[in-house]
Structure formats: C-alpha cells, structure tokens
Structure 1
C-alpha cells in the first residue's frame, strides 16, 4: 500500500509516548483485510486514511484515524441505506488494542448526506462483531439509539429506542420471498432454518409504518424473536388514529406447541390504513384470533376475524359492485357518503404466500355482503366471490316472517334482491363482474334453477354434476356485467 509515513521513536524509558507513526494513504479492501479492519458488508472500495498510531510507556497501543469515504460505497442493509461512490462521506475512528490486536473501536463517527452515526464497537478474537453500541443513528425519519450483542453461535440481541423509527425497510424485508411471484424453494428454506436467532426489543415515540401520508403511528413498543425461518414471538403495542387516540395490540406467541395469533384494535380503520393494509375503512372495533397446527413447519394459521361498527368510504371495488348491480346507495356512495356496517365476521387461512377467506359476511342498514376466496400477496392477485344484498334491513324483516320469509329470501345469506359477484386479477387493476339475473331473481328462484347456487351460509358452491334440467331455458344464467379497476387490501 503506497503511503506517506512520519515515524517518531522516543527511546528514553521515561518518555510518555514511545512510538508515534503518522500515515496518509488510500487503503483498498485488500489492504484493510491485512489489518483486520475490513467490513465488507458495510464498506466497499477505496478509503482515504489519515491516521496516527501511538504506543505509550506502558505499551498501550491506539489508533486515531480520519477517513475519507467519498470513493467508497457504504451500506447499512438493516436500515435500507446505501451511499454510492462519489457522494461525500467522512468518518472518525478511535481504535484500542488488546494484546497487540485492534479489537476495540472505542469511538466512531460517520457523517454523510444520508446518514449520521456515532458509537463504539468491540470485536471478537476472530475479528467478528461482538458488541455494537450506537449512541445515535439518524437517517431520514429514523433517529434512534441501539445496542447489538452477538453470541458465539451468531445469534443477535438488539435493543433499540428513540424518538422516531422508519419501519418501512423491515416490512419490505419481511415480505420478500424466494423470488418474484414464487414461494421459497426447499434449498432456500433450509438456508433460512440455519439462520442464527434474532431477538429484538424496541421502544419508539413515533414510527413510520408505510409509504404515503397518514402512515405514522404513535408510541410503539414490542419484542420480536426469530428462530430460523419462523418468528416465534411477536408482541406489539402501539397508538393509532387521530391524535394517537386509538390502540392496536398484536400478539403472535407460542401456545402448547402451536402459535397463537391475537390482534385487537379499537380503531380498525386507522390501524389498517396506517399499516398500509386497507385505505377505505373508518372506525370499527377489530378482533382477530387464530392458531397454527402444532408441529407444522410452515406455521399456517387458521382463525376468525370480527369487526363491529365501521364505515366504508371511497372504495373503488365497492363502487363498481354497486354500480354494476344498480343498487340503491350507489349515488350516495359516489358523492362521498360512507356506507355503514354494523358487523363483519368470517374465517381465514393464512400462509406464507397469502390469505384465503371463507364464510365472511358483513351487513348494515343499506347492504349486506358475503365473500370467500384468495389473496396471493406474492403474486399480487386476488380471486374473490360472493353475494351482495341491498336493503339489508328490509330483507331481514321479510326473512323474519316464518316460512314465508325463507321462501322469499332463500334462507340465511340470501336476499329478496341480491347479486352474485366476482373480483379477480391484479390487486391494482381488478375486474369486478356481477350476475344481472341474480339482481332480478328472488333467492328461492335462483336456488330452484341452479343460477349461481349458494349454500345456506352464503358461500358460492362448486357446480354440481350436470343433470337434465327441468326447465332448460332457465338452467343457464345470463352473462355477467364486468367493470374493471379497483383495489383490495394489500
């Protein structure tokens, strides 16, 4: 390594500094490897170095170094931050020695246009990280302090706290799969299972949960524990909604060999919006409960969801359903008036690729809906179907009439007037189709002539084996009406 060196040696034993070496050079990655001061996951490329090495009369060694990182690429992958070569950045490093080995970075400071950090770092005898203490890390919306301890097996214990945290990089990392539009392969899963444990405790005053306006949540604390491919303990308590008036609690914890999921919020609309799950819900009390199967390596979760007293506003899919079905309430909805619902309940099946819904129903004074189907988060697609029923209150009154009510409405989940629908395609460009014959036919006629058959729970059934119809002209439903566009929960 070409360098400019000024070496001063004091031979008298009483001299406070025995050796002082000042060096100026440009250190390549190979040069840094020779001194065990290379951190390839963090720094790549040439580094300008101006350093002073000293050894005092007690043979204590230290290095003070100022680094020019303009020609280097820097990365803090955990925080999704990178600096490309050519962007100005500097660092100051103070290094302490242990039996002649530079194992203690007693102080570091990093300054760049995108990030600033300060703290200390202790290395293990093999020069891997043992303990990292970050007094302050600032990058964009993140302003935190943290400690990282790495055990002999590579397991990491992280503690982080501060006034603000940008959680978007962590969400992107957690949702990434084995590749575009596909689950992990067996080889990739084995590699994930071999990962050392990751244990995180956090406490932040504010958290940026997702992209877009209104995605910032209030005081947030929790604990995450990952073992191999699986998160074995997830607890989260946070404030949501206007003025942080709402509360969200998430618990995914071991329970008798399985995993138990509980999600509770007194402002479902704010929680779903601020975490970028669903934009068109307002208010509501949310309860989600589920369990995995003991011993299931994929930890598939089956559960139920329940939402009470909520509103739907400016939802493209809902607007197209009401428009295609020509239902009363469409004009009010399009002018911005919300649609009120008193209750939603149903079941779900959650896997690493997405979620399947079954027996989902919701109703209010204006309309009722049933739904089942799949949302594939890896592929970004949906395939949903169900029934939409207008004038829910009127239909309920008719349905309450003994015998006559069942004949008129077709039973539970049906309606005097209703339409079957399908929502299918990419999440950002959905097709919505409605069966117009179901709009005109009472529920008992639709069942009698096998027009979009439904079971008593309102679920769309698989077609029955073909048999000779009693009325051929009525056996086949008319073609549906289709409208494109819209979106569903992401």
Structure 2
C-alpha cells in the first residue's frame, strides 16, 4: 500500500524518540555504573589485570617490549568531589628490547588520569615513580612524567623528568660513579630527545667533574641517535677512575699510563649512534670532540725523558682518530715549541700514534735528552760532545705502536736537527770546532751529520753517517780542513829553525774514518803541505812555502783507540819517509830521510799486557837535536814512572846531537827502555864515549858518563866550544822528587880561546896568571866539580880545578834558563908552590883555609851572563895569608842566587 508523506515523517519521529529513550537509558546506566564504581573505589583500589596487560601492549612497539605485573585503579572523588582525577597504580614495570635485554625496572608508578579524559578531553596523564633502576646500575631513579595519549590511548608524546640518586650508572665496564644527576626526556612516536642532562661524578683525588649531556634519537626504519657530553675538569692522575675500562680500552690504557700529570678541561664530545628498529643492538658510528690540556706530563716512549708542562688540545675528528696538539711544553731542558700526536685506530684492537714535534734548546740540554736511555744516541760520541756549547732546533717524528713491550727500532723515530754557533772540543783537545753549523738527521737505525765551520782556527767541513743499534754498526766520517797556526802548535811545529822561522801557512787535509766505533776502524789522513812553511828543529829539517810536499797516514783503530799505523808517506825537499804496517801490528820504516838523517827500522807493539813497544832504527846518519830544557833533572814533586812501556835500539855510523858545525859521534849505539817520556835504563856508546842509566830505589836513577875527549863531547852537545882534549868522569843520581846530585871529574883539559875565562884572569895581576893564559890555552890538570840541580838551577858546591901554574875554587849557582851566574871563586897563582904550605901537617890550615887554596890567593865574585860576566875582585885578599883572609872576611861578597 502506498504510504503518504506524512506517515513517513511520523515513523521517523517515532524511531528517533525510541533511540533517545535508549540513549537516556544508557546514560542512566553509565551514571549508575560510574556511581557504583566510585562507591566501590571509596573502599580501596580496584585490581584491573586486563588494564595492566592492555597498557603494556599499548606502550610496547618500535623494538620496545613493556611488561607490567599488575594495575590498580584508585579514586578519591567519592569523598573529595568529582574534580579529583583517577589514579592507576602500575606495578612491576619492565622495559626490554627485542632480545629480551632489560633496560629499566620500575617497582611501582602512579599514573593519574583526569576524569575528563574519559569523555575525550585528552588532558595529559601524570606518572610518578621512584626506586627505579636502570639495568646494571645502582643509582636510584625517580620519574615525574606527563603523557599525552593519542588515538586508541596510544602515546602521542610525553615529557619525563628524571632524577638520579648516588650510585653507579651504566653497564659493567662502561659505568660511572655519581653523586646525583638529572635529565629531561621528551618522547614521541619515532623520536626521543634528552635535554638538560647533568651528572655529578663521585670525587676522586682532587677531581670532582660535572658532566652535562644531551641526546637525540630518530626512527626511520632504523634508529639513529646523537649523544653530546661535556665535562668541566679532571686531573690526569684521576682519569683512570673516570674513563670506563671498555671505552676504547687500548687508547685508555695508553693515555692513562703515559699521561700522568696535568688537567683536562672543557671536554665536549659528540657520539653518533645507530640501532635496528627492535633496539637489539647499539653501534657507535662517529665520535667528535675534544678537551683542553694544561700542564700535562706525557711519557711518549717508555724510559725516555717525558714531556712536561705540556699545554694543548685533544680532539677526535672521527671515531678512529685522536689528535693531541701541543702549544708549549718541555722535555727536561728542551722546550717544545709546537707539535701533534695523531692516534689512529682508536676503535680498533691496535692503535698507532704519529708524533711530530718541534723542539728548541741549548746543546747540553738537547744532548742530555738524546743520550738518555733507551735512546742512547750519543753513547759512542766523542767526550767533547757533552761539553759542547751552542743552540739547536729540531723536528722529531715517530710512529708509536700502543703496545706494552715497545722497542725503539719499532717507533720509526726521525730527528732532524739544526745546530748553530757550535763550539766544541774535538778528539784532539784543546783543538776545537768553533762557530760551526751542523745539520743532523737521526733515525732509530742511522745517524747522519753534516757540519760546516772552523776547526783549529781554519774553515772545515764534516760529513758523518753511522748505523745505530749495536757496537758493530758501521760508521763513516769524512772531514776536510786545513792545518794552520793552531794545529802547527798542537803538533809541536810552531818553532822552526832560525832560517825558516816559525811554521806558517795552511795545508789542506782530508781525514776519513770508517768502521764500527765499537770494533775495528780504518783511518786515513792526506794533506798537501806545499803552501806551508814547516820545520822539524829536532831533526834539523825545514821547508819553505811553495816547496812541493805531500803527507799521507793510514791507521787501524780498535774500540776507538789507535791500534796500529798501517801506512806513512811524507814527501818534500829534504824529506822522504815511507813505511807500512805489517801483520800483527808492527810497522816497518822502509826509509826515513829527514835533513841529514838516513835511517830505516821497525816499531813493534806489545804482544801481551805489560810488554813494551819495541823500536829499532839503524842507518848511516842520525841527526837529532837536543831540546833546551830549563828544568832538566829537577826531580819535581810527584815524579813517577808512567806511560806506555818501550824499548829502543839505535845503531848509526854517525850521530849528530847539535846543528853544524858541531861534530858527530862516530859509531853511535843506544839500547834503552822506559815508560812514557822517562828513560828508566839505558846504555849508549860512541867513539871515546859511554853513558849508562840504571834504576835505583825510590824512583831514583843513576847516571854514569865517561869520555876520553871531553872537548869533542862538549862541542858535539853544543855545550861549550873552547875546550880540547880531557877525560871526563861524571857520576850522578836524579829523579824521585829530589834534586839531582853528582860529581864531575876532569883531567888534562885545555881551554883555548875562552874569552870568558881570559876576561876573568886578566882582572888579576898576581904572578903566574899571565903565564896561565898565554900560549895554546889554559890547561887544567885536574878538576873536581860537586854539583846539584834543582828548579832549573845548577849549584857548584866547592868545585876546584888546578894546574901547575894556576888553581881555582868555586861555589855558587848558574841559572840554566838564561846562563846567568853568581859564583864566589878563589884564584891561586903558581899553584904547585903556593899550595905546598897548606899541605903541612897541623899548620896547613893557617896558610890555606879553603880546600884547593894557597898561601897567596885572590878572591872574586863573578856574576851576570857566562858569555860576558862581571868580575868583582878583592885585591887585599892577594896579600893576606890564608888564615887572615878568613878571619877578617876578605873573601869578597857572598854569592847570591840570580833569578
């Protein structure tokens, strides 16, 4: 049946009416149910097992699994009014990742929901919890949170205010001890942010650092996060307590073991992290940041002098690299002017540090560091190096593996140094290097050196290369220089003959040394001496500038000491020396032409300890000039036998002991032995001449000299040229810190053309004096001369001499350095007749009180140089009987010692 329009609206209105009645009934039922729930809650909490499960399910997701042991609903609005919010007591909350690893455990938390939320107001839920623990930590956690639920009561966002109490936070090996802390966590789907993070680390030693941190994480299929942490200050001594053991453990071990003093300030690090969606693992992707270092002590290589007072920065540009930059510091007395250490492989098992530093110091301070163990780079350097003066700048690089048992050879150490204004005593003190510039290049395997400056006052260059490691490591040295005044003086060549004058000019030379410093080395020196003026006065040889000349010497060294001369060649006008070393260390002199000398021979080293060096020379001529010795035979205090032992044998047809026109000694032989420069025992012979030296007690030696022609011997020695004939017997002892004493006896000696004697006698007018000096010269039939020598002074102790016509006595001194004398003498004319009364028994002393005197004699004092003496006579003494001369003091002035 067709319905009319009015019926349709009537039916629709009836339906709406019925629906309204149903809704009204439902509302009444809901209100009644709410009232019943409120009434029930007025008696206590209502256990809601399904609520706990539902809320745990809603809170889980994105790799997070939440478990709740139970949930209770409470409400105080029945007593306090309808505005009181509902409170849910949640128990046993555990948050885990997909692998079941628990992150946090909350024993209980209260979640407050405003009643309006029941009707869709979406006000935040408030959650309060305490006593929570992060897994592996002991620090209690309190949480105050506001949670905004989303559709279906899912999480829209939440703000969690977290407070930490004292305890340990973090996993074992990655934990820190704190006294408290706090942070704010902002959570939203696929986003977590932590702000205002603060941790107060537990004080250790003098450190109590405050740590700030922030965290950001986002989920885009996988989680990516960034953690930034800052710290104000920590002392290096306390760093092991704050650096977790499993955080870059190898770097931690190296840093904490080798940075032992100082402060780290203003640390700031950012860590890039990533995790899969289910948070089953966490990976460190990037690390950046650093801190400022102040007054650090850095042990950059075990056993080596450490870096101290080091100021700089520590930065990590990435997770595998750490860079230590130094602005200032010291290595003992060496100043660090800048440098870096870059540590590679921080996140790997093994790390390597690249060190590069710039240093500046004085040479003594720098050498002290280089020679300290385990470097010992200068252990084989010459002694003069330790006292060298100057400055050095150096660039040092090394690659240091961070391992426990590190050896120098494994470090790649490389030192490049520049030494300037170097002044250093050489291997031949006192010769020195001055104003020298040196470039040094040192590695753990090799030392290279190039120097340019002055040696012994002349320009010189040195090049050196030595392998480092063992005493058998090879080394080569080449030096180019020039011999000048200082070197001539050192070699004893500064005094030449009167004709040539002092040694002068320069002679360029090249010295080469090769071989291990701790073993066998070969050395050679070659020099062009053409431009030099050189003389050997002891051999009567000299060369003038421009005369061609060449010198070459080669030798073998053992452990830095001369073991043998292996070759010698010297060529110049009047000079031809050639010799070679032999097996066993002996040296054969094939030819030695030096002025008049013509010789050959050999030098043999000792085979066993205590044995002497043996020298053997022979030839037709030996010309060796004696040196003037102002203190000969002094017997100085501390006189000892020291030096290398030697034994010598000489055989020459003629031996010249003075310059022409002094005669030579024919058939000269010498056999002797000694220590150093001391002749201990000797026998020498020539035609009409013999000499013997024998050791005595207390370092004394006896000397015996015999000559059948004293005049010739005196001329050969260039001692006195106006005597002829005569026999001489001299016996003396010397040495042992005592004066030399002895007696010389002369017989039948004639003084011919002796101006000093003639001048003395001409001052006398006594009868017989003119006879004595006329004819072929004054004859001395017999003379006895007791003497002593000390401090360069010859003392005559009652010397006497006589012939039939004249007699003498003498007491006084002669300075051997300048031949000045002060002598009291008595002259007795007609000696044979005049001295006869003095020999009468009992009455002799009345006529001749002095030994060798007579009845009539003249006393005089002789002073001044022997070549031109001053004679002071006492004429009254000539007419005074002997006993009255002594009684009235008519003997003239007492002798005084001349300076």
Query: Match for 1:393 among 832, 836, 839?
Result: 832
Alpha-carbon spacing, 1:417–1:113, altered in 2? closer, same or farther (3 Å): same
Deviation at 1:361, TM superposition (A): 1.2
Deviation at 1:122, TM superposition (A): 6.2
Q: What is the RMSD of the two structures over their aligned residues, measured on CA atoms?
A: 4.6
Distance 2:695 2:643 in 1: 20
Does residue 268 in structure 1 map to residue 710 in structure 2? Answer: yes
Distance 1:136 1:260 in 2: 35
- Segments of 5+ residues of structure 2 without an aligned counterpart are 1-458, 465-475, 494-505, 512-521
Alpha-carbon spacing, 1:342–1:77, altered in 2? closer, same or farther (3 Å): closer
Alpha-carbon spacing, 1:422–1:354, altered in 2? closer, same or farther (3 Å): same
Distance 1:412 1:185 in 2: 32
Q: Is the 8 A contact 1:319 1:330 kept in 2?
A: no
Equivalence for 1:297: 736
Query: Match for 1:417 among 849, 852, 856?
Result: 856
Alpha-carbon spacing, 1:447–1:436, altered in 2? closer, same or farther (3 Å): same
Deviation at 1:138, TM superposition (A): 0.9
Equivalence for 2:477: 34
Distance 1:131 1:251 in 2: 28
Distance 1:353 1:142 in 2: 31
TM-score with structure 2 setting the length: 0.38
Equivalence for 2:778: 339
Alignment of 1:7-46 (within 5 A): 30=462, 34-35=477-478, 45-46=507-508
Alpha-carbon spacing, 1:237–1:446, altered in 2? closer, same or farther (3 Å): same
Equivalence for 2:603: 148
Equivalence for 1:252: 693
Deviation at 1:277, TM superposition (A): 2.3
Does residue 138 in structure 1 map to residue 593 in structure 2? Answer: yes
Does residue 353 in structure 1 map to residue 792 in structure 2? Answer: yes
Query: Rg bigger for which structure?
Result: 2
Distance 1:234 1:227 in 2: 12
Does residue 320 in structure 1 map to residue 765 in structure 2? Answer: no
Distance 1:63 1:350 in 2: 45
Q: Is the 8 A contact 2:823 2:862 kept in 1?
A: yes
Distance 1:206 1:219 in 2: 6
- Segments of 5+ residues of structure 1 without an aligned counterpart are 1-26, 50-61, 125-129, 240-246, 454-459, 464-490
Does residue 366 in structure 1 map to residue 805 in structure 2? Answer: yes
Does residue 87 in structure 1 map to residue 547 in structure 2? Answer: yes
Distance 2:524 2:740 in 1: 54
Does residue 286 in structure 1 map to residue 728 in structure 2? Answer: yes
Distance 1:72 1:89 in 2: 9
Q: Is the 8 A contact 1:422 1:432 kept in 2?
A: yes
Equivalence for 2:578: 118
Q: Is the 8 A contact 2:792 2:817 kept in 1?
A: yes
Classify the secondary structure of the residue corresponding to 1:300.
Answer: strand
Equivalence for 1:70: 530
Classify the secondary structure of the residue corresponding to 1:439.
Answer: helix
Equivalence for 1:165: 622
Alpha-carbon spacing, 1:405–1:74, altered in 2? closer, same or farther (3 Å): closer
Distance 1:104 1:234 in 2: 26
Equivalence for 1:483: none
Q: Is the 8 A contact 1:95 1:105 kept in 2?
A: yes
Answer 1 or 2: higher relative contact order, Cα 8 Å, separation at least 6. Answer: 1
Q: Is the 8 A contact 2:862 2:869 kept in 1?
A: yes
Classify the secondary structure of the residue corresponding to 2:763.
Answer: helix
Q: Is the 8 A contact 1:221 1:237 kept in 2?
A: yes
Distance 2:525 2:678 in 1: 41
TM-score with structure 1 setting the length: 0.66
Q: Is the 8 A contact 1:223 1:235 kept in 2?
A: yes
Classify the secondary structure of the residue corresponding to 2:835.
Answer: helix
Cα deviation digits, residues 5-30 of structure 1 (max 9, x gap): xxxxxxxxxxxxxxxxxxxxxx9774
Alpha-carbon spacing, 1:136–1:37, altered in 2? closer, same or farther (3 Å): farther
Classify the secondary structure of the residue corresponding to 1:206.
Answer: strand
Does residue 211 in structure 1 map to residue 211 in structure 2? Answer: no
Alpha-carbon spacing, 1:328–1:132, altered in 2? closer, same or farther (3 Å): farther
Alpha-carbon spacing, 1:440–1:224, altered in 2? closer, same or farther (3 Å): same
Classify the secondary structure of the residue corresponding to 1:444.
Answer: helix
Deviation at 1:86, TM superposition (A): 3.7
Deviation at 1:81, TM superposition (A): 5.0
Deviation at 1:305, TM superposition (A): 2.0
Equivalence for 2:682: 234
